[in-house]
Chains A and B, each alone.
Chain A
């Protein structure tokens, strides 16, 4: 299988701390790739590097063979990378539908002036995006929350809306940052089924940062274990979970 996304020798340094230290990995098209590791290992930092919110101090990021290391943050969505955030970053004062519609932003074709004058091209865009957002609503079962403001929604639903908003960008690569944090057992299982559906029905490649090992084992094809910003192990879930370094990092070994 061809590598769809590749990180080569990726490093980022904040002051004196190397948050990510020479990390290299490859993600194949259509797979679910998980990144695990103790808190502070640099997992979310890698996501922020891929979304181009942070600048790497060295290393390269390649998407479908194209170097995206210095692409500005707002162009990432247009390239096909979408993400969810660890501490839900939804737009609080807007409804679920409006949040999803913002997700469609990178596919807007009408120019600014035609939007200001609401020319037919702008209207057409709006209707197309509305249909797309409705498809995502149907996929995730959010119909009854369509016009509710985010502020009034329970936490579990907000996580799903965040996922929906990412799906509206029609990504090739979806970055999920701790999708199960804050969810109970049933909600986590539900999240697992959605990730499977995303992989199989929508054919989207997923990179997932997770702490919940049952979820990781259930949906992942391959796992990367990080510690102190460095790669500890890379392989199938079973291989990584039994790797001696990983065991030592999580459970501790003899002194």
Chain B
């Protein structure tokens, strides 16, 4: 086990714990940068989608994982970002403006749902966000003068400083940059009083108030930041699909986002990446596995969602800490070998601690 020798408080504030981490992350960044020269367009396209979902996942992780505000309508923010991008680009605005605008409009929507729900707790908030998500989806569909409704909306190809961002590779790099930005924002939030305030709100609202945390302000900020990041993801999503349809942003997509947060490992940013990989690559894995299955099983129309549901259920039953949790446990096993204790990660299972009075 590595022991870190710390000589100043600043060391506790850095994003990487030590130079070893910095090396590995640097290597990862270099590999990511070089991949499009190595892999084919299909894989790059898929990775681009993974990045886009991960960006939305970071937003939702901040909102649900850290502030404890369960959001069943997260797809709405993606949709608002996507349509804003399409509409503004069609109107001739430059990409360098439309991208942040997508984020800002989504953030405004986030504040619009955040403020009325300030007094709501847990379950009621979840339902309110569900209703909000469905209302936004309906608006996107009905407001045809702007969004072209069910006819679909084509998305123009953006260019930045004269260079066109097109095709799978363009989306890949754009998404990679925005993902790194989102992760940086999230890390900053988590190491400052803002992040601690959010976690305090999740764990004990009354206590947080006594410590001087303005609940209304911080909940709204959480919604705004989460929505902003997801709006950016939405803009990139528009370029990924090239043609927008309002029924893409439904509750099933919101459930996918929640799955990213959950299966990846709630409360961790690494988890978001793992979760996004899982959610995006599962359909591909099933498609490949179909070739190997007996034809009766392979041609079932409900195969994909049922495998999705089955894995979700198995993860919750057997590894609620998600993929990242399993990763940590495996690391701990090897680091403590042969003195690994099975009770190191045990939780009590006798009764559910009541969250009521």
Contacts and interface: CB of A to CB of B under 8 A. Distances in A.
Determine direct contact between A and B, CB below 8 Å. Answer: yes
B193 A51 contact: no
Q: Of residues B197, B206, B212, which shows the largest number of chain A Cβ atoms within 10 Å of its Cβ?
A: B212
A51 B9 contact: no
Given A91-B199, A91-B207, A98-B196, A74 B212 contact: yes
Nearest to A130: B9
Nearest to A76: B210
B212 A89 contact: no
Nearest to B12: A130
Q: Of residues B185, B193, B267, which shows the largest number of chain A Cβ atoms within 10 Å of its Cβ?
A: B193
Interface in A89-113: 89-94, 98, 101-106, 108, 110, 112
B323 interface: no
B192 interface: yes
Given A91-B204, A116-B188, A53 B209 contact: yes
Contact of B193 (A72, A101, A169): A101
B213 interface: yes
Given A85-B207, A112-B221, A130-B12, A118 B213 contact: no
Interface in A206-251: none
B214 A74 contact: yes
A75 interface: yes
Interface in A66-99: 72-78, 82-83, 85, 89-94, 98
A117 interface: yes
A187 interface: no
Nearest to B221: A112
Interface string A151-165: 000000000000001
B193 A118 contact: no
A78 B213 CA distance: 10
Given A91-B204, A115-B188, A127-B9, A83 B210 contact: yes
B200 A91 contact: yes
B328 to A, nearest CB: 14
Given A91-B200, A94-B199, A115-B194, A102 B211 contact: yes
A127 B9 CA distance: 7
B13 interface: yes
B193 A125 contact: yes
Nearest to B193: A108
A165 to B, nearest CB: 7
23 contacts: A75-B212, A78-B212, A83-B210, A90-B204, A91-B203, A91-B204, A91-B207, A94-B199, A101-B193, A102-B193, A102-B200, A102-B213, A103-B211, A105-B200, A115-B188, A115-B193, A116-B185, A116-B192, A116-B194, A126-B192, A127-B9, A130-B12, A165-B211
CB-based closest 10 A-B pairs = A106-B212, A77-B212, A89-B207, A91-B203, A115-B192, A118-B188, A73-B209, A74-B214, A130-B9, A115-B194
Interface of A: 51, 53, 72-78, 82-83, 85, 89-94, 98, 101-106, 108, 110, 112, 115-118, 122-123, 125-127, 129-131, 165, 169
Interface of B: 9-10, 12-13, 185, 188-189, 191-194, 196-197, 199-200, 202-204, 206-215, 221, 225, 267
Given A74-B215, A76-B210, A103-B211, 11 more contacts: A90-B204, A101-B193, A102-B193, A102-B213, A104-B193, A105-B193, A105-B213, A106-B212, A116-B188, A126-B191, A130-B12
